[in-house]
Amino acid sequence: MMPRVLVVGSANMDLVVKAPRMPVGGETVMGGEFSTVRGGKGANQAIACARMGAEVWMVGCVGRDAFGEALVAGLEADGVRCDYMRRHPTAPSGIAVILIDASGENSIVVATGANAELGENDLRQVPGFSAFDVVLTQLEAPLGAVRATLARAREAGVTSVLDAGPPTEAAKALVGGPDVISPNETEAKALLGIPVTEELEPTEAADRLIAAGARNVVLKLGAEGALVARPDCMERVPAFKIDPVDTTGAGDAFTAALAVSLARGDDLVRATTVGAAAGALAATVFGAAPSMPMGEAVEQFMRERGAS
């Protein structure tokens, strides 16, 4: 049977500009190609879960505007069930302004729009969480919706995964909520109340998150792979070497593939390895939603790298 995944989160239209480098404060940099690409951490992950072979439902909120129609149509075209996607009558659909430099690194500013209206009433439209194998959510969704999602998953005995980006001060209270929390290094520091400029070894960051109540941590380390941490052990998962084109969405592909792998019954280290492969493949394609890899491509990529 296909694993069943419920994704609760954001859907944005990404407004993407390529530039030779990132501007500094007060500077204007002449950019190049501009494009609009479907994105948002929730929508990206829902699409990635579907492409990885899961049966996927998404809970989210978009505006009654052209961007909202395009976002829902794109989700449905990728096989995501949108029964629980709400069209808000007044709020505009969320957008993200993304700058991509010549090395493929990105800088992102998000205007949440209708995503901010996602709440517990939307979750009540889902009749039962026990019908799903994994529930996946992210911090682009309002904290109230995230908190309710994690609580309902726990009540139903369903594995929950929280992508800890982008973190806020209030998000610290959610560290112990999910079965698996997956931040990158910057997000881990924010959850721990540590300045982003302060040096913090990944193992220490994971230790501190466990001490703060996290059940399982998958710390995304970019080109260095990932660190899987439980209260009793830690294990490094190496990265897959690639030539990046655009890292936008790579973290979303990672977390989604991790969630689908867990839904299939894989252990956390194996699921993290699958996530690392999916994230690497996503970084070789321009755009967020378009870069989410197919499950067959991830499997082939892992076989070629000796990680199947």
CATH number at residue 210: 3.40.1190.20
Asked whether residue 16 is domain-assigned, the answer is no
Asked whether residue 25 is domain-assigned, the answer is no
Give the pLDDT mean for 98-114.
89
Number of domains making up the chain:
1
pLDDT in tens, 32-54: 899 998 989 999 999 999 999 99
Asked whether residue 109 is domain-assigned, the answer is no
Asked whether residue 265 is domain-assigned, the answer is yes
Q: Which pLDDT band holds residue 287 (cuts at 50, 70, 90)?
A: confident
Indicate the residue type of 222: G
Q: Which of 40-54, 94-108, 125-139 has the lowest mean pLDDT?
A: 94-108
Asked whether residue 31 is domain-assigned, the answer is no
Indicate if the pLDDT at residue 308 is higher than 80. Answer: no
With beta carbons less than 8 A apart as the criterion, state whether 25 and 121 touch: no
pLDDT in tens, 77-99: 999 999 999 999 999 999 989 89
Beta-strand ranges (E) seen in the chain are: 4-8, 12-18, 34-39, 55-63, 81-88, 94-100, 106-111, 134-138, 159-163, 180-182, 217-220, 226-230, 233-237
With beta carbons less than 8 A apart as the criterion, state whether 171 and 192 touch: no
Which among 275, 289, 287, 10 is positioned nearest to 138, based on CA atoms? Answer: 10
Asked whether residue 103 is domain-assigned, the answer is no
Asked whether residue 222 is domain-assigned, the answer is yes
Indicate if the pLDDT at residue 286 is higher than 90. Answer: no
pLDDT given for residue 296 in this prediction: 96
Q: Which pLDDT band holds residue 7 (cuts at 50, 70, 90)?
A: very high
Residues with active-site annotation: 252
Domain region containing 291? 4-10+41-93+114-304
